[in-house]
Amino acid sequence: MSADGLSGFDVEVNMKDMTAEEIQNMEFESIEKAEEFYVEYARCLGFSARKDVRRVTGEGVVHTRQMVCSRQGERAKKNIERTERSRQPRGLSRTSCVAMIRFHLNNSSGTYGVACFVPVHNHPLTPSTHVHLIPKYRGLNEADKNFVDGLHSSGKAKMEDVGDTYSALCDIQTRTENDHLFINKYDRPLVVFCGYNHHKETTVFACALIVNEKTETYKWLLETFLDAMYQKHPLRVVTDGDNAMREAIKCVFPNKRSTLVDFVRDFHRALAEYRN
């Protein structure tokens, strides 16, 4: 069976129904096509594949390529037995799975055939409805990326035209029309921790409903947030000028200065007027 590309697999061949014999008889025009096939085969069956052995000729041509299930092998014992850790260890993901495929160059035709194929796994396969949650398959295709970029550009343009405060209030108003308890269902102060990520984009790190706006309450909240951030202090703290919060910041972040920003103050004033 010849496989010149992956475009025909989705339409002409149901990979889940392919037999071991059919896969053993496949040929690929390039090693890249062979690797693409096994990656797609793995996705269809509910596991992820990774590259393993690679051997090349003196001229740099790949003559052997082996790919295995991502659960092949086992975690090094030194990593399992470590007692001093800064965070909880990840769950074991290696099960010594033997599933694999090995491609070999046919010198006469220049194509790659399947020299060895082991389809058996020693772990459950992921159902098709959850395959997108496997780390290897998380992400967006080009069409989805273009769509998201278009929405982002459109939203950014609208916010630049009308202002961030107005845009936020419009969003709140729209949500409130569908849920009259959206703003504050429990009638408690809402504290939101925002900042910049490594792309210089605004990110919400945490939020909390507190029972009151006293200094001791804010101190507890900041200390809890600091624990969640592995004791990593912020470079700068921006507040709306609340005296209790400013006092709490001085206690928890003694080397940081609370900054009053007009935009934040105006936003809270506008939000209060909207509530009334």
DSSP states along 82-147: ----SSPPPPP-------EEEEEE-TTT--EEEEEEE---SSPPPPGGGGGGSGGG-S--HHHHHH
User: Tokens 């596991």 label which residue?
Assistant: 47
Tell me, what DSSP letter sits at residue 46? T
Q: How many residues does the chain have?
A: 276
DSSP type of residue 18: -
Question: Residues 168, 267: contact at Cβ < 8 Å?
Answer: yes
Query: Which carries the bigger pLDDT value, residue 39 or residue 8?
Result: 39
Torsion-angle region of residue 110: left (phi > 0), alpha (psi -120 to 50) or beta?
left
User: Which residues, listed in sequence order, are joined to residue 191 by a DSSP beta bridge?
Assistant: 208
- pLDDT band of residue 11 (cuts 50, 70, 90) is very low
- Of 10-14, 35-39, 185-189, which has the strongest mean pLDDT? 35-39
Q: Dihedrals φ, ψ of 190, to 5°?
A: -105, 125
Determine contact, residues 258/245, Cβ cutoff 8 Å: yes
Rounded Cα–Cα distance for residues 96 and 112 (Å): 27
pLDDT at 229: 81
Q: How confident is the model at residue 8, as a pLDDT?
A: 43
- pLDDT digits 0-9 by tens, 146-197: 767 776 666 665 555 555 556 666 676 677 677 666 666 666 777 888 777 7
Contact 166, 72 (CB under 8 A): no
Q: Which helix (H) or strand (E) holds 195?
A: strand 190-196
Q: How many CB atoms lie within 10 A of CB 199?
A: 6
**110 vs 139 pLDDT, higher one:** 110
pLDDT band of residue 262 (cuts 50, 70, 90) is very low
Is-contact 103 113, C-beta < 8 A?
yes
Quote the pTM value: 0.50
- Would you state the pLDDT for residue 206? 84
Q: What is the mean pLDDT of residues 262-275?
A: 55
Lowest mean pLDDT: which of 25-39, 61-75, 168-182, 223-237? 168-182
29-38, 73-82, 154-163, 225-234, range with greatest mean pLDDT: 29-38
